[in-house]
Structure 1
Amino acid sequence: MTKQRRFSMGPAALVAAAFIGPGTVVTASLAGANFGYALMWALVFSVLATMILQEMSARLGVVTQQGLGENIRAAIKQPWLRQLVVLLIFAAVIIGNSVYQGGNISGARMGLVGLLPFDGQYIPIILGGLAAIILWQGSYKVVEKILIGLVLLMSIAFLATFILTKPDWAALLTGLLVPSVPAGSILMIVALIGTTVVPYNLFLHASSCAEKWQSAEQLDDARRDIYISIPLGGLISLAIVATAASAFFGKALTIEGAADLGQALQPLFGDAATTFMALGLFAAGLSSSLTAPLASAYALSGVLGYSNQLKDKKFRAIWMIILTIGVLVASLGLKPIEVIIFAQVANGVLLPFIAVFLVWVCNQPRLGQHRNSWQQNILGIIVCFIATGLGARSIASAFGWL
C-alpha cells in the first residue's frame, strides 16, 4: 500500500511540458524586457487558474475513464448541437493548435540560432522529426518519461540562468503580489495567460489521467501530481520573466527573442548563460513539439468518436497533420515574434470557450459524487469570466478599439 501511494510525476508534468514551450520563453522574455517585474502577477493568476481547470480535467478523466472530448460528445444529446460543437472544436484545434505548434517551433528556431553550431533552418525539421519518432512508438509511458525528463531539464536550465542574474527581490515580490497594468501591456498579459492556461491541455490532461489511473480512489494521486508539477512549470516561467527583467528592463538594450537574452547574458556570465539558455530552449522546443500534436489527437479523437490509442491509425494521422503544419509554419520565414504572440493571444481567446465546456461536463450526473462542488463551480466560473474579459480586451486592442 505504501508503494502505491508514493508520489511520482505524471500527467500534470505533461501539462507543464506543454505550456513551457519556446513560445512561453519568448513571451516571458518580452514581458520582462518591456515591463520589468510588473506583469509577474499575471503568471501567478495563470498558475492558479491552470490548477483549478486541470484538477477538473484530471478528475473527469480518472472518474469516467474518458477524455474531455468523449465526455462532451456523450453529454450533448441533440445531434445538431453535437455536430456544431464538434465543428467548433475541430476548427479551434486545427487552426489554433497548428498556429500554436508553429509558434513554438518558430521560437525554438529563433532561440537556438546562434546558440548551436548548425544552420537554424534545419531546427524545425529536427524537432519535428524527433517528435514524430517518439510519438510513433505508441507508448504513453515512454512519452510521459521523456516529457518529465524535459521538464526537469528546463527547470535546471532556466532556474540556473535566473540565479546567475541576481534579480531585484523587492521589485520581484511587488510584481508577484501587486497587480498592475502598464500602458500597452494588455496584449502581453493575455499572451502570458494564453501561454500558461492552454485550452488544449484540458484535453491532454483528461486523457492522460485516464491512461495512468483507473479508479476514483486514485484522485488524491492525480491532485498531488497537479499541486507539484503545475507550480514547477509556473516557477520556470517566473524565472524567465525575472531573468529578462534583470538583463533588459530600463537598459539601453533591445530584445527580439530568447537568443538575444542568452547573448546579452554572455558578457556578464560567460558561456554558462548561453549553454543554459540553449539547453532550456531545446527542451522547450521538443516538449511542445510532442504535447501540442498529442493534445490535438486526444481532442479530435474524443469529439469525433475515434479511438484514443496512440497506435491507432486515425489518432496517428491527426498528430502527424498538426506536427507537419507546425513545422511548415515555422519554416516559412515568418517573423517568429508575431507568430508566437498571435498564437498565445489566440489561446487566450479560445480558453473561455473550452473552459465553459469543462465546467459544464464536470457537473454531469455520470460523475456521481465527484461532480463539481459549488466552490469548484464558483472558482471555475471566475476563471472563465476573467479569461473572457481579457480575451475581449485583447481583440479590442488588436483592432485599435481601445
Structure 2
Amino acid sequence: MKFIERMKSIGPGALVAAAFIGPGTVTTCTVSGASYGYVLLWAMAFSIIATIILQEMSMRLGIVSREGLGEALRNQFKNPVAKNISIFLVISAIGIGCAAYETGNILGGAMGLSTVSRISSNVWGPILGIVALIILWTGSYKVVERVLIGLVIVMSVAFILTAIVIKPNLAEIFMGMIIPRLPDGAGLTVAVALIGTTVVPYNLFLHSSAVQEKWKDAKDLGIARFDAVFSIILGGIISMAIIVTAAAAFYGTDIEIKNAGQMAVQLEPLLGAWAKWFFSIGLFSAGFSSAVTAPLAAAFATSGALGWKRDLRAKNFRSIWLIVLLVGIIGSSLGYSPVQVIIFAQAANGILLPISAIYLVWVMNNRERLGQYVNTSLSNILGALVILVTIVLGARSLLSVISKIFG
C-alpha cells in the first residue's frame, strides 16, 4: 500500500525523465544499437547512475533551500567577479546546450512527420518551430504537452515490449553494461552523446524549481527521492530497450540510419506493418513536446541566474525562450541531416555537462544554505566521479572533433 501511495506522488521526477526521453534519446540509442550492438550499454548504465546522483542533489537543493539552481548560484559568491564569471559560464552552457537541443528537437518531430508525409524534415522543421512559438506565446503549452507526453509513453512501452519479444542474449547485454569499451570510428562521439542525451544539464535547473511546487520542506525528501530515482530508472530502462531493439534489427547489416522509417523497423516484431506509423507519431510527439519545454527550461535557468522575474509573460523571460526557439527554427531549415544534427546536439551537451555539474556540487556544500542537508562525503565523491568521467570523455570527444577539422 505504501508503494501505491508513493506512485501517486510521482511528479517532478517524471518531468525529468520525460525531458530526456526525446527524439535525441530515441535517435542516439538507435544509432548506438545499430552501429555497435550492446557494446555501449555501459555508457547508458553510467548515464542513469549519474542522472540519479545529480538530480538527487538538485531535488534536495530546491526543497531545503526553496531556491532553484540558478538563484542558488547567483547567491553563492560574494565576490562580484567570481559571481559574474560563474553566471556567464552557466548561462553559456545552458544557452548553447538548449539551442543545440532545440534544433534536434524540432528536426526530430519533423522527421516523424516526414516519414508519413514524404515532405522533407527541413520543410516541416520551421513549421513546427512556428507552431511551438505560438503555443508558448499564448501560454497554452501545458495541455498540448500532456497529450504529447502520453503518446511518448505509449511508444516507450512498445520498445520495452519489443525488447522482451525478440528474446535478446541476456549475457551479452550484461557484459555490455558492465565492461566499458570504446569502439573505433564514431564510438566515442556516440558514447558522449548517450551521456549528453540522458544527463541533461538544463534538467538540473528544471528539477530544483519544479520540486518547490510539489513539496514544501525537508520532511518530504524521502518521497521526493523515490520520485526521482523511480522515474529516472524507468527512463533508463526505456533507453536501454531502444538500444537492444536496434541491435537486434540492424547490428551487423552495415545500414546507416538516416530517417525515422529506418528506425521504425526495430518495432516490427511487435507491431508489424503499423510500426512505421506508430514510431513516426511517437517521434513527432517526443520532438514537439521537447521543442516546447526546452526553451522554457533555458528561460527559467537564465532568469534565475540573473535575478529576473520568472514570469511567462515578462519581456526578459520571453526574450530568452524566443532566442532559443529561433535558433532551433533557423537550424532546422538549413538542410542538415536530422540524425547527424541530433547526435551532434547530444554530444555538445555531453561536453558542456561538467560546467553545470561542478557548480551544482559546489552549491550543495554550502552549509549556510542547506544546514544538515549539505552533501555527505559519499555524495561529493560520487559527484566528483561523475564530473571526472564526463570531463575525460568530453575532452576526448572535443579533441577528436578538432583533429578532424585541422586534418
Q: Would you call these one fold, judging by a TM-score over 0.5?
A: yes
1:207 counterpart residue number? 209
Q: For 2:229, what is the secondary structure of its paired residue?
A: helix
2:107 counterpart residue number? 106
Q: For 2:116, what is the secondary structure of its paired residue?
A: coil
2:241 to 231, 239, 242: 239
Question: For the residues of structure 1 that align with 2:233 and 2:75, how far apart are their CA atoms?
Answer: 32
Q: 2:2 matched to 1:12? A: no
Q: Which moved more, 1:261-270 or 1:226-235?
A: 261-270
Offset of 1:311 from its aligned partner? 3.9
Q: Which amino acid is 1:321 matched to? A: I
Q: Which runs of 5+ in 1 are unaligned?
A: none
Q: Which moved more, 1:53-62 or 1:134-143?
A: 134-143
1:226 counterpart residue number? 228
Offset of 1:192 from its aligned partner? 0.7
Alpha carbons of 1:31 and 1:169: their partners in 2 closer, same or farther (altered >3 Å)?
same
2:400 counterpart residue number? 397
Question: For the residues of structure 2 that align with 1:143 and 1:213, how far apart are their CA atoms?
Answer: 25
Mapped contact 1:255–1:261 kept (Cα < 8 A): yes
Q: Which moved more, 1:85-94 or 1:257-266?
A: 257-266
Q: Which runs of 5+ in 2 are unaligned?
A: none
Question: For the residues of structure 1 that align with 2:323 and 2:160, how far apart are their CA atoms?
Answer: 34
Question: For the residues of structure 1 that align with 2:111 and 2:121, how far apart are their CA atoms?
Answer: 8
Question: For the residues of structure 1 that align with 2:114 and 2:194, how far apart are their CA atoms?
Answer: 24
1:77 counterpart residue number? 78
Mapped contact 2:94–2:201 kept (Cα < 8 A): no
Q: Which amino acid is 2:38 matched to? A: Y
2:377 counterpart residue number? 374
Q: For 1:380, what is the secondary structure of its paired residue?
A: helix
Question: For the residues of structure 1 that align with 2:312 and 2:359, how far apart are their CA atoms?
Answer: 25
Offset of 1:310 from its aligned partner? 3.2
Q: Which amino acid is 1:382 matched to? A: L
Q: Which amino acid is 2:65 matched to? A: T
Mapped contact 1:30–1:256 kept (Cα < 8 A): no
Mapped contact 1:41–1:176 kept (Cα < 8 A): yes
**TM score, norm. by length of structure 1:** 0.90
Question: For the residues of structure 1 that align with 2:228 and 2:261, how far apart are their CA atoms?
Answer: 31
Alignment deviations for residues 130-183 of structure 1 (CA, whole Å, 9 cap, x no partner):
544554465897688557535523422433443454433332232223332222
Alpha carbons of 1:352 and 1:2: their partners in 2 closer, same or farther (altered >3 Å)?
closer
Question: For the residues of structure 1 that align with 2:191 and 2:267, how far apart are their CA atoms?
Answer: 25
Alpha carbons of 1:253 and 1:166: their partners in 2 closer, same or farther (altered >3 Å)?
farther
Q: For 1:200, what is the secondary structure of its paired residue?
A: helix
Mapped contact 1:40–1:238 kept (Cα < 8 A): yes
Q: Which moved more, 1:324-333 or 1:37-46?
A: 324-333
Spell out the pairing of 1:135-214 with structure 2 (5 A cutoff): 135-136=136-137, 138=139, 145=146, 149-184=150-185, 185-214=187-216
Alpha carbons of 1:8 and 1:268: their partners in 2 closer, same or farther (altered >3 Å)?
closer
Number of aligned residue pairs: 402
Mapped contact 2:312–2:318 kept (Cα < 8 A): yes
Identity percentage over the alignment? 51
